[in-house]
Structure 1
Amino acid sequence: MSPIDLNNIPIIDLDSFTHETIFKQGDKYWFFEKSEDAFPGQAFGLEINQILYHTKSQFQDILIFKSLSFGNVLVLNGIIQCTEKDEFAYQELITHLPVMSHPNPTKALVIGGGDCGVIRELIKHVELGTIESITMVEIDDMVIQLSTKFLPEMAKYHNHPKVNLIIDDGFKFLKSTQEKFDIIITDSSDPEGPAEEFFQINYFKLLLNALQKDGIVIMQSSENIWLNLSYLKNLLKKAKTIFKNVKYSQCYMPSYTSGSLGLIIATNDELKDVTKPLRKLKPSLEANLFKYYNSNIHQSSFVLPTWAQNELKN
């Protein structure tokens, strides 16, 4: 895809701009995230200050706006992917759970992750001397380009010398690669459009094939315990047909529907306890590197309310 002219972006007039997620109430404009399939009967709203960019790429609808209270917001197909206010919670947990649970993670693969937040977190382990190489496979180059412009605190390491950035379909890459990775992070959007395949059993098989024997995979589950628990239960069941050791973790984020997002972490190493960090950093270093993650958060993220724990176990 040809580069976007990020130095010549036209100003978008809110009064004349139309989008299925944006509504005017009084003299204010609001973005509402609604999905009758994913979370029927509820919505999440943010007041809009300014529309920064809107386009339809080859793969999806991309909307970026400046909100009143959450900073810049990236929306794909009507669903919030990240906001400047709370993105670090998700990016840190999905990255550091597997990395800190592995004895010697040197090679990392990221499927998706066009906002480049996971890359930012992995670079911290490059600088610590742990991760030696990062491969990122993102299908939509336009998301990367726009993130460098409007989410610069996230998308600032995609050109790092330790990062091999591949613009391609993640499924296609996994089917053809002969490489084996210690850590695989699936940072896909919700299971609609190009990301739908990432929530199927065949995808788990491809992940296992690209994983080192003691490797760890992690993916966002698209659901939390308050939304569609039966869907989450079925997704965990799919993962357990392929991986011997599967756990579910929660990340708290106000910009995600119901205020939390689930992560599925899996390995075929049955002796590995991913709920406890195998490696720990000094508290002072943790505080310097991370805003959300620490060794206590690592463990507590796997603690579920009794009713949810019982339902997911059955």
Structure 2
Amino acid sequence: MSSSDNAGFIPPTKEEDFGLNGMDLIIDGWFHERGVMWPGQSMSLKVEEVLYHGRSLYQDVLFFRSSDHGNVLVLDGVIQVTERDEFAYQEMICHIPMFSHPNPKRVLVIGGGDGGVLREVCRHDVEKVVICEIDKDVIEKSKLYLPSLAKGYDDPRVEVKVMDGNVFMADNPGHFDVIITDSSDPIGPAAALFEAPFYKNMYAALREGGIICTQGECMWLHLDIIKPLISKVAEFATTVEYAYTTIPTYPSGQIGFVIATKGKEEGCKEPSRRDDSIEKVLKYYNGDLHKAAFTLPSFARRAIFE
């Protein structure tokens, strides 16, 4: 997860309007994540060095070097990326939709300022990748402190738009084969990214046969968010499905993806193509795991789809 885009979002102007101050969560040399969306539990990482802390126009931004998880990005007090396990998220949010499309050429990434999704998209034979990230500070600092993710920005096929993704999509209807939204949780600037109007705007920006994949929260914690969102998207998308990945440093060790299609009746549970040259360099995604990612525990399947 990383920073996000939001039409109509007003940047905070007072200290109390921001999320948690990341520095306040470092106690006795440990960072203790506190999230209002996962009450009663906390993820803690040992801090070796604070690399950067500041407030952008949109959020509190913290980078630190941990003892065992490499460099870490924290936004508004919530862990977004650790170098140790980021690939489990970046690979799945990217390659599930990319390999579900038979020939993706134009790709839009919304959010994802750390560059991890870009890195993965650029493994494919695409013509153009546009990233709309509203917070330029996340882009600039990620290039410094997360270079293994941000190297995607160096690809000549990538075009960076520091702007509202909704505005960009409105200006480019029917243009993209795949749209990936790598957002933070539905608080503050990311709240609108979990509402039906945003999904309708993405749907309108797709070409026929196109695919949407968005960060879809945790089945252990957020069924009250996932269920109504899936139901709303199902009203206009050809298909809508929920897949997931495991990742230790996200709440409850799991994060999901809402995947919707436009004119693709078979959905995305089976890859439309395979590429051994890509799969052999990946750490997490493979064609078998692609299919398995849509197999949900009974409690989640019933809660989301029944």
TM-score (norm 1): 0.87
Secondary structure of the structure 2 residue equivalent to 1:157: helix
179-188 or 229-238, which deviates more: 229-238
Equivalent residue number for residue 186 of structure 2: 191
- CA shift at 1:268, angstroms? 2.5
Mark the runs of 5 or more structure 2 residues left unpaired by the alignment. 1-20
**Residue 67 of structure 1 pairs with residue 61 of structure 2:** no
Equivalent residue number for residue 252 of structure 1: 246
The 5-angstrom pairing of residues 115-154 of structure 1 reads: 115-125=114-124, 130-154=125-149
Match of 2:26 among 22, 27, 36: 22
- CA shift at 1:60, angstroms? 0.7
**Residue 303 of structure 1 pairs with residue 295 of structure 2:** yes
Match of 1:211 among 206, 215, 221: 206
Match for 1:198: what amino acid?
L
Give the % identical residues.
42
Match for 1:103: what amino acid?
P
Secondary structure of the structure 1 residue equivalent to 2:149: coil
Q: Distance in 2 between matches of 1:47 and 1:235?
A: 36
Q: 1:83–1:18: structure 2 CA closer, same or farther, 3 Å change rule? A: closer
Relative contact order (C-alpha < 8 Å, sep 6+): which is higher? 2
Q: 1:121–1:267: structure 2 CA closer, same or farther, 3 Å change rule? A: same
Match for 1:139: what amino acid?
I
- CA shift at 1:281, angstroms? 2.1
Secondary structure of the structure 2 residue equivalent to 1:52: strand
- CA shift at 1:296, angstroms? 0.5
1:195-252: per-residue Cα shift (whole Å, max 9, x none)?
111111110110011001110000001x211112222212212221231301101111
8 A Cα contact 2:22 2:62, kept in partner: no
- CA shift at 1:154, angstroms? 0.4
Match of 1:273 among 250, 260, 267: 267
Q: Distance in 2 between matches of 1:69 and 1:272?
A: 42
Equivalent residue number for residue 101 of structure 1: 100
- CA shift at 1:272, angstroms? 2.4
Q: Distance in 2 between matches of 1:270 and 1:103?
A: 11
Q: Distance in 2 between matches of 1:238 and 1:33?
A: 31
Match of 2:232 among 232, 238, 241: 238
The 5-angstrom pairing of residues 171-186 of structure 1 reads: 171-178=166-173, 180-186=175-181
Count of residue correspondences: 286
Equivalent residue number for residue 5 of structure 1: none
Equivalent residue number for residue 165 of structure 2: 170
TM-score (norm 2): 0.90
Equivalent residue number for residue 197 of structure 2: 202
Q: Which has the larger radius of gyration?
A: 1
1:138-195: per-residue Cα shift (whole Å, max 9, x none)?
1011111111111010001213211111110112222333461000000111112221
Q: 1:121–1:270: structure 2 CA closer, same or farther, 3 Å change rule? A: closer
Secondary structure of the structure 2 residue equivalent to 1:81: strand
Q: Distance in 1 between matches of 2:135 and 2:182?
A: 13
8 A Cα contact 2:90 2:116, kept in partner: yes
Equivalent residue number for residue 262 of structure 1: 256
Runs of 4+ in 1 over 6 A off after TM superposition: none
Equivalent residue number for residue 288 of structure 1: 280
Mark the runs of 5 or more structure 1 residues left unpaired by the alignment. 1-16
Instruction: Say what the alpha-carbon RMSD is for the aligned residues.
Output: 1.5
Q: Distance in 2 between matches of 1:79 and 1:273?
A: 32
